[in-house]
Amino acid sequence: MAAIIPIWLRDARLYRLLTFLVYSIAMIRVPKVKVMHRLFVIAAMLMLVSGPVPAKAAKELKLIQTSETKVGDVVFLKLPGNPKAGYKWRLNKDLSKGLDLVSVDQIGWLIAPKGKSMFFQSQSVLNVSVKAKASGQADLAFDYFRRISGSTFVKTSLVRVIIKPTLASQ
């Protein structure tokens, strides 16, 4: 399913223009029915003009880490997070590429000690082991997610593992 993001949410200039128009209309002294009608017409025009965002732009993944290893070696990934607030990491097998080249296992969380400051806390880290089985490149997509009362927040990040052949296999 392609995500549809209106252009006025992506472009700051259009968002400011829309905010200005809404504020200007709200300041006009006319009955509320006319104001609501004008707001509806402006919103409908903006949505019609903006159109949907292509699916490719909606699913761009941020590369957060690149590791190099040799066949047979193990790489340890450290994914920062906040498990105390309900956030978790999971491997997204649909978006990952090269899963046949590696085996991925979650080791566990290294929980950061509680600091004295309420605002500046150390971040916990999920340790993940990646064992290289064959040479090539594996792009591992990890979802950082949290479920809150029926809805789910998801942010997907990419970890690239470049696997070089060992001297014996060359």
- The answer to whether position 99 is within a domain reads yes
Query: Which ranges of 51-156 does DSSP label H, i.e. alpha helix?
Result: 55-58
Is 43 in the same domain as 76? no
| One domain, residues 50 and 104 | no
CATH of the domain at 129: 2.60.40.2020
**Which domain does 25 fall in, by range?**
7-57
Is 170 within a domain? no
**What pLDDT, on the 0 to 100 scale, is given for residue 146?**
86
**Res 111: pLDDT:** 82
89 to 63, 79, 81, 83, 92: CA distances (angstroms) = 15, 8, 8, 9, 9
Q: How many CB atoms lie within 10 A of CB 157?
A: 17
Name the domain boundary from 57, 73, 97: 57
Amino acid 67: pLDDT: 92
**Sign, CA torsion 31/38/15/64:** positive
The pLDDT tens digits along the chain (170 residues) read 444 555 545 566 666 776 776 666 666 665 666 666 777 777 766 666 665 544 444 457 788 889 999 999 999 999 988 888 888 899 999 999 999 999 999 988 888 777 666 666 667 889 999 999 999 999 999 998 888 877 888 889 999 999 999 876 55
pTM to 2 decimals?
A: 0.61
pLDDT for the residue numbered 90: 92
The total number of structural domains in the chain stands at 2
